[in-house]
Structure 1
Amino acid sequence: MSGPGKSTPEDPWPVRTLNTKIADWIHRLGQVWVEGQITQISRRGSKTAFLQLRDPSADISISVTCSPAVLDRCEVPLTEGIRVVMAGRPSFYTGRATLSLRVTEIRPMGIGELLARIERLRRLLAAEGLFEPALKRPLPFLPHGVGLITGRSSAAERDVLSVAQGRWPSVRIEVRNTPVQGPTAVPAILRALAELEADPGVSVIIIARGGGSVEDLLPFSDETLLRAVSQARTPVVSAIGHEPDHPLLDLVADLRAATPTDAAKRVVPDVAAELALIDELRARTAGALRNWVSREHRGLLGLRARPVLADPLRMIDERTESLDRTLREVRREVARFVGHEEHRVESLAARLSTLGPAQTLARGYAVVQRIHGDDPPEVVASVGDMPIGSQLRVRVADGAMRAAVMGTDKKRDA
């Protein structure tokens, strides 16, 4: 809606006209680039993100809206406090007379650019697998020697040496002092790393610095240094001591320590604690051995108390008695059986003798046998078997006689 060119007390503009004219004028600005500091970020749903952009030099701010995809496309994660430049169009909402900036691109400034470069390198090395846990080498329990790369007369050096020697007084530490910031830091650290790698007495290497700004820590995110550390045969500990922003060395190293002091504790064992642990383990071992001996002794006593071991011959004696008893029973049964059979045999013999031919002969009977030359005699039972002249053998109770048939008398019927 468009109103008259000028407003007067007699012909004032409605609020809607004023707001519309302001909106038309603002919209004619087109796209602008704005620099500021993000003080608030809010994602509402999946369609719109709300930010607050503040002027670092004045107490002035403006509301910013954008698609969440704009935030996701940014080279570094956007956080409150980061300085950026934004490209967008000013927008005036006539309903509530509010001004906002609808942006389509956000770029980090200053430190943000450094973080963006580090982020790109991080993604590259991650894609190559340099951060994989499988590549991490374990630290030795008792290192032959410890290599330390740090700044000369720095707090990090003092912390590592004091803590390490306090935990293990005889530990050997090979110190290589190098710059830890600036353009000469990386070449110097690489030379020190190569020297310690070549030393067969060095079992682990600590790269230490006592923290600092993002710019100060740039050498520890240098690609050449990171690749050298990943290819080192000796385990490397990163002890930069800077919690908010981790340099990429923390991801490539075999172990990240929170501080140089923490690195010394992780690398060098506490001799006093280890000796105390050995004493404790020895005491526990001795106690376990005594308990085992006591348990086995009780077991042996229990075994000896069992009847079979307390009196080993008892079972044999019991079986011997049982065997003797059984043998007596068997002998008694055999004797009884034999006596019964003897009695039976005697009875049968008596019956046999009563019914036998000898008894018959004793009662006056005789057995007549016919003799045929050399053939065995044949018992005759009929007169017809003894023709006249036949040679006979007549057996009686007390002997036998020979006779010849002179005649025969046949049995007469009654």
Structure 2
Amino acid sequence: MAQTQQLGPSGTPPVPHPDSEKAAALRRMKNIALGLLLFMAVVFCFAFALEHQFPWLSYVRAAAEGGMVGALADWFAVTALFKHPMGIKIPHTAIIPNRKDEIGASLAEFVETNFLSETVVAQKLATTKIAQKVGTWLAKPASAERVATEGAAALRGAMAVLKDDDVKDVIESMVRKHVLEPPWGPPIGKLAERIFAEGHHHALVDLLVDRSTTWIRANHTTISGLVSDRSPSWVPQFVDGLVGDKIYNEIYKFARAVQDDPHHEVRLQLDSYLKDLAQELQHDPAMIAKAEAIKAQVLGDPEVRELAGRTWETIKSALTEAAEDPNSELRLKFTAAVQEFGTRLVEDTELAAKANKWISDAAAYLVGTYKHEITSLITETVEHWDAEETSQKIELQVGKDLQFIRINGTVVGSLAGVVIFTVATLVFG
């Protein structure tokens, strides 16, 4: 009956494990080396038994004898690396299991000395042109979109990890440190002084004058009524009307005069007042104290806490929505910026050279500063390995090639045996 092959979970034949393949190859090479040794032993027996009848078999016996000696010697040497030959605890055998920690330390030192060298890393990176390669990859739309997608995922993760109260505390502390603790008067006065000196406030004054003039023109009844309401009851009504009209006309004429004349006395007086106010905010202790009092009224503890909360909620909401929406403006602009940066890395030689220099310097610094910590990973990992398992793993990796030593030892031993026997025969007869 034919044996059925066991299928994997997906219905396909299981993929052989790499260690299984290496173990099979190792067994095959061991069998070949052992078979060659047994062949030499059989040849030796026949040649030893028949050499008195056939003298030429003495050379065959010498070759087989030398081959057996070479095969056994190399078997012992190869086996002694991984275990005690035939279970006998001969000194200086089972080298790898007994000295795995020293081997790990030596390997780490070798890597640290020959690979994690600032000079070696800098020279390699100088010829790699990492910036251009990264730029070429980033310039592709699919790559830029992938970076944006991964960035959005990282942003969502950060938003989920961050605690709202902690972020609000940070924002509140920053507001207190950079907004509330410094006095407001001097910086506001300095900024106002510059604005007033350059005449940027004139547009606001023009707007206020225009809106005031427009309101006066449209509210004749309101202004006249104010006169009637405040006049004595014994004054005739028609007098109130005349006085009200007169006052309205004068107010309107005055407003139009201020509106039409850029150098009107009111405008000049307003400029003078604003400039004096700017100076007082900077140098007058009383005015500075008033500004601080206003600041304390406007931004007390509850207001600052509420401001921090609203600020964080707004930022968090905006970032979360932008991260979740592939077509959001932020995602699209970020993708375009990544793609543009990649194109610049490819086309701008100076920028690419600076980026490569920065990468090289950063890598050299990291290697120079942390190379011992990096190689300690090798030492610590080997120290935690089981001795027997370590020996088996290493034998799986290199054992197949080591079996060629046994085969070559058998062949070389045979040739050496023939040569030695021939020389001895020629010399001693």
TM-score normalised over the length of structure 1: 0.16
Q: Which has the higher contact order (CA 8 A, sep 6+)?
A: 2
Q: Which has the higher strand share?
A: 1
TM-score normalised over the length of structure 2: 0.16
Q: Which has the higher helix share?
A: 2
